[in-house]
Amino acid sequence: MEVTVPKMIVSNRTLDFGSGFYTTSDLKQAKRWAKLKTERQKKGHPVVSVYEFDKDKANKYLNIHNFGSANKEWLEYVASNRKNTYIGKKYDIVIGPVANDNTMPVISDYMAKNIDENTALILLKPQKLTDQYAFLTLKGLSCLSFTEVILL
C-alpha cells in the first residue's frame, strides 16, 4: 500500500532491528517486499513508496547505528531482537543488512544453538545481503519525507 506518512509500527512479530518503520535503499529489494506482502495478504496491488532521507539532519541530531556488514555484532543484535531479548543501547535509526529468506535458516540455527557464532558468520558470508533502514523512533521518522509512489 502507498505510505505517504510513515508511522511507527509496533508488531507482534519480532524483527531484525526491533519494532519500527523499515525501508531499504535497494529498489529491487523494495519491489520484492511489495510483491511478497501483496501475495501474503491476497489483496491490493504492489507499490513502492519512495522517501528522501535527510542524512545530514539524522547524523547531527540522532542516535544512529550502522552495521557495515553481517558481522558478529550484527548477528547478536538481530538474534536478540528476533528473540525479543534485546536490552542494550536504544537507537533512533539502525542501518544494516537484512536477514532475508535465505539467511533466516542460519540465524534460526544460531538462535537455537544448533550452530555457533563462527559457523553462522561463515555461512552468512557468501550471501549478497541488501540493506535495511529501521526508523525506531519518531525523531528518526522525522528525517524521512515522501517523494513518490511507484506502481508495480
Instruction: Output the nine-digit C-alpha cell for 78.
Output: 538481530
Statement: residue 1 has pLDDT above 90: no
Local structure of 110: helix, strand or coil: helix
- pLDDT single digits (tens) 99-136: 877 888 999 999 999 999 999 999 998 888 899 999 99
- pLDDT single digits (tens) 31-70: 999 999 999 999 999 999 999 999 999 999 999 999 999 9
Instruction: Give pTM, 2 decimals.
Output: 0.92
**The residue to which cell 534460526 is assigned:** 108
Across-strand partners of 48?
150
Give the largest Cα separation in the chain, rounded.
44
Backbone phi and psi for residue 97, each to the nearest 5 degrees, phi listed first = -60, 150
Local structure of 51: helix, strand or coil: strand
